[in-house]
Amino acid sequence: MGNPVFIKTTGLDPKNETISIFDLWDSKPHTKVMELMKQAVESSCSVSTTARIFHRTGALFIYKWNIIYDPQNTLFYLMGQKVSEATGCFGWCDAFLATTNDPVYILNSEGKIINVNEAFERVYGWTLDELIGTELPTIPYHLRGERRIFSEVLQYGSMVRNHKSIRQKKDKSLIHAVVSITPVNDIHGNVVAVVGVSRNITDKVQAALLLDRKVKELKEHELKFLEISENINEIFCVFDLLVNQVVYISPSYERILGHSKDEFYKNFRIIYQLVHEEDQEIFKQFLKSTNTNSEVEYRIVHEDGSIKWLRSRKTPIKDQKYLHRVATVTQDISNLKEKELLLNKQDKLGAIGQLAAGIAHEVRNPLTAIKGFTQLWGQETHNKYSEIILSELDRIESIMQEFLMLAKPNQETKFEVHDINQLVNETIGFMHPEALLHKVELITDITQELPLVKLEKKQIKQVMLNLIKNAIDSMPTGGNLLVKTKKLDNKYVCIEVIDEGIGISQDRIPRLGEPFYSNKEKGTGLGLMVSFKIIGHHKGKILFESEEEKGTKVQVCLPLKME
């Protein structure tokens, strides 16, 4: 752009035509012009030169030029003065004041205001008539030390660029501003004036402060979120649908499942491999579902091979109208499932107990008569089938005995303090012949000086007999059977029966102790059912650990103090 004086002097109008500086500046070679502009960019003050200007008609004028570079707007200001003109408010003054929307003021060599533009009047509230001949009033009292800047500019001809400060308006209100100050030299290089430009950046500063405050609040919220999510027992997971990746998984993932969360971040589909094969379909349907707050219960394989029950809830996260993230909260409900199964088992035990009492009573009397007449028939006829019938009747009688035990396992219960090691040794001695018959070697690992335990001796022996018989039956080709005693957590005395048998699959272990559920071909499951009921009456617990084709460990824990 060019002011009216420029248009009159050159005959060129930038509004109507494209003008090159080389069209009007009589400078050969042109590299000199480029070098001056480069100096203006690199210099801390304006660059001065004397050059001739062509009028469109061919007339020449000699002008003293000041080249000033404005880095904020990446503009060059060329302010010219005829060599013959006097200093003061030069011919280029009005043009320069009109070239910017930022407040501009011009001070003379004594630091007094000689001109301001309309933007200055609009922003600060003072008119030129009020200010002319006075010192600059925009510097607040607490920043009066900045007035030294102007004296240094006038004294040394230095330049101030993009100085961030506070400025005061006529109504005493304050604004944030960026201030640039440039000296103006005469033909002898003396500073004759100072041009100052101040840009109001209050809105930007307030926006930056607001942004900083929002960022700070966001960080505080993020820290609170992390503090909660990093310490909750549930697994918290956030999945971004746009990038198709997990963006957050809480550390409880590793605590509950035992698997590395880094691997989960790399490939979230690894979860499909961990879900129990019987539950994979419902789990996939849960993930695909678009229903809000959907929920699913499923099993998952822990890193150590054990089975965990989990319950997951899904919540969509919407950005305005669009679903872009999904959050899931997963709870370990293994203990709840165990209690639920235990309650179901107890209900079954109670029902079977009531049923067993009636069946045993009704069956034993005719069974006794049938057995007696079969024995007489065998003695009289010497029929070879009589022995088979009697053996099967004995089996029926043993089942009835188990029914009676199941119906009233606590009948005539008398708890007394006993040495668990002595009880184990007596049971091992009793079972030794049967173990030899099945090529099973009984081995004991007794922990000496165990605390005495209050128990019903006959019932605990019955439990041990059931467990040892089951262990022997699980080793059809023989093997080693280890019986151990130990103290656990200063709360229990435990008996462990460890065999090298065929083992039990993981999905069948939870059902052990249910009526008529057995691993043996002709088993009824009543032996383990009675054992669970006896140990439950003793306020103890029975735990199973097994691996197919490698063996089973059964742990019977009896409390040192019965509540």
CATH homologous superfamily for 100-215?
PAS domain (3.30.450.20)
The sign of the dihedral angle between the CA atoms of 367, 369, 371, 374 is: negative
Specify the pLDDT at position 304: 81
pLDDT for res 124: 93
Cα 361 from Cα 363, distance rounded (Å):
6
pLDDT in tens, 152-192: 766 776 788 888 889 999 999 999 999 888 887 766 677 77
- CATH number for the domain running over 230-332: 3.30.450.20
> Do the beta carbons of residue 168 and residue 134 sit within 8 Å?
no
Calpha distance 162→164 (Å, rounded): 6
The DSSP-derived string for 472-524 is: HHT-TT-EEEEEEEEEETTTEEEEEEE--SS---TTTGGGTTSTT--SSTT--
Maximum average pLDDT range among 15-24, 64-73, 481-490, 531-540: 481-490
Question: Does the pLDDT at position 31 exceed 60?
Answer: yes
The percent of residues above 90 in pLDDT, for the chain, comes to 14
pLDDT at 295 over 70: yes
Task: Supply the pLDDT for residue 168.
Answer: 92
Task: Indicate if 230-332 has the same CATH topology as 1-97.
Answer: yes
CATH: 3.30.428.10, 3.40.50.1240, 1.10.287.130, 3.40.50.10300. Which one for 337-407?
1.10.287.130
User: What pLDDT digit, counting tens, does each position of 499-539 carry?
Assistant: 999 888 887 787 776 655 555 555 556 678 778 888 888 88
Q: Which residues of 76-112 are buried (b: 16+ CB within 10 A; e: fewer)?
A: ebbbbbeeeeeeeebbbbebbbebbebbbbbbbbeee
Collapsing DSSP to helix, strand or coil, 440 comes out as strand
CATH 3.30.2310.20 is the classification of domain 416-559: no
Q: What residues does each domain of the chain span? A: 1-97, 100-215, 230-332, 337-407, 416-559
- What single-letter amino acid sits at 18? T
H/E run at residue 463: helix 457-473
Question: What band does 96 get if pLDDT is binned at 50, 70 and 90?
Answer: low
| Long-range CB contacts for residues 392-400, cutoff 8 Å, separation at least 24 | 393/367, 396/363, 396/367, 397/364, 397/367, 397/371, 399/524, 399/526, 400/359, 400/360, 400/363, 400/364, 400/367
Domain 1-97, CATH class in plain words: alpha beta
Residue 99, SS3? coil
Report the pLDDT value the prediction gives residue 90, as an integer from 0 to 100.
Answer: 45
Whole-prediction pTM value?
0.39
How many other CB atoms sit within 10 Å of the CB of residue 276? Answer: 16
* Secondary structure of residue 141 in the 3-state scheme: helix
479-488 and 492-498 beta bridge pairing: antiparallel
Q: Cis peptide leading into 29, omega within 30 of 0?
A: yes
CA proximity to 91, closest of 5, 10, 188, 218 = 5
